[in-house]
A = this chain, B = another copy of it.
């Protein structure tokens, strides 16, 4: 029912193949016909932000997003000031890297707190400060709802609905959302919320990973290669397409088994799985 997805829509997030250096990532993508990557701040800073930008430009690779800003929920003034400074630095790095999207992982409950509603308000306060700064530089802040299993320690924004409730307080050019199948696949409200996000022009990124079990200790590295788990990617793509999103689709998998393998082989497999399952 859905037309086959062209490989030109694939972007591979560098954490999917974190065993690859940036030059090897760039060369591997070129070899497999992959035309875009998603980046993380820490390996980019290690290699050098300007140097990364030059490498990717010379390789003809687009940058779909930079991960990550966020961690806005600690109300302690010094922590809050540090978080805002760090997010402004992330926005600047996004500009240098030539991407228009900074992914935000909003932060968990502050230490000792049980106040989810209050923590979400701290996020709104930070977005109000950062939105204009980002907008002036052509960068959009993309709130990523994380699976509810991360609500305490990583991100109090657990559903696309909550992310949109936050984003819609600001212009779509400043603040949007990430649609990530790993975090949203279980939610029967996701289809309606994807449509809502599309109507508002707020789908700033579309990311894929599969849901596999059993989850490992700490659950962070439990994501699966496309096709290995429970996610119906074609159904998700149909929803996101129908919502008017025509941009790149980023594969972002954290999985120690993938990291232990040859990175070039994982890139090839990812492109194949993308063609077959998405």
Q: Is the CB of B158 within 8 A of A186?
A: yes
The interface residues of chain A, by DSSP majority, are classed as loop
Within 8 A of B (CB), among A213-265: 213-219, 229-232, 235
A155 to chain B, nearest CB (A): 10
Q: List the B residue with the shortest CB-CB distance to A183.
A: B148
The winner among A153, A162, A230 for most chain B CB atoms within 10 A is A230
Q: Is the CB of A213 within 8 A of B148?
A: no
Q: Is the CB of A232 within 8 A of B114?
A: yes
A186 to chain B, nearest CB (A): 4
A186 CB contact (under 8 Å) in B148, B185, B218: B148
Within 8 A of B (CB), among A180-203: 185-188
Q: Mark A121-147, 1 if CB is under 8 A from B, else 0.
A: 000000000000000000000000001
Q: Is the CB of B217 within 8 A of A149?
A: no
User: Which residues of chain B come closer than 8 Å to A147, judged between CB atoms?
Assistant: 148-149
User: Which residues of chain B come closer than 8 Å to A187, judged between CB atoms?
Assistant: 148, 158-159
Q: List the B residue with the shortest CB-CB distance to A165.
A: B188
Q: Is the CB of B114 within 8 A of A153?
A: no
- A216 CA / B229 CA spacing, docked (Å): 20
Q: Is the CB of B152 within 8 A of A229?
A: yes
Q: Is the CB of A219 within 8 A of B215?
A: yes
Q: Given known contacts A116-B186, A152-B230, A158-B186, is B215 in contact with A218 (CB within 8 Å)?
A: yes
Q: Does A109 contact B (CB under 8 A)?
A: yes
A237 to chain B, nearest CB (A): 13
Q: Does A266 contact B (CB under 8 A)?
A: no
User: Which residues of chain B come closer than 8 Å to A117, judged between CB atoms?
Assistant: 188
Q: List the B residue with the shortest CB-CB distance to A212.
A: B152
Q: Does A151 contact B (CB under 8 A)?
A: yes
A223 to chain B, nearest CB (A): 13
Q: Is the CB of A214 within 8 A of B213?
A: no
User: Which residues of chain B come closer than 8 Å to A235, judged between CB atoms?
Assistant: 114
- A114 CA / B152 CA spacing, docked (Å): 28
User: Which residues of chain B come closer than 8 Å to A149, judged between CB atoms?
Assistant: 147-149, 215, 219
16 additional A-B pairs beyond A149-B215, A153-B213, beta carbons within 8 Å, are A109-B230, A114-B232, A117-B188, A147-B148, A148-B149, A148-B186, A149-B219, A151-B185, A152-B229, A158-B186, A158-B187, A214-B217, A215-B215, A215-B219, A216-B217, A219-B219
21 example contacts (A-B, Cβ-Cβ < 8 A) are as follows: A114-B230, A114-B232, A114-B235, A116-B186, A147-B149, A148-B149, A149-B215, A149-B219, A151-B211, A152-B186, A152-B213, A153-B213, A158-B186, A158-B187, A159-B188, A162-B188, A214-B217, A214-B219, A215-B218, A216-B217, A219-B219
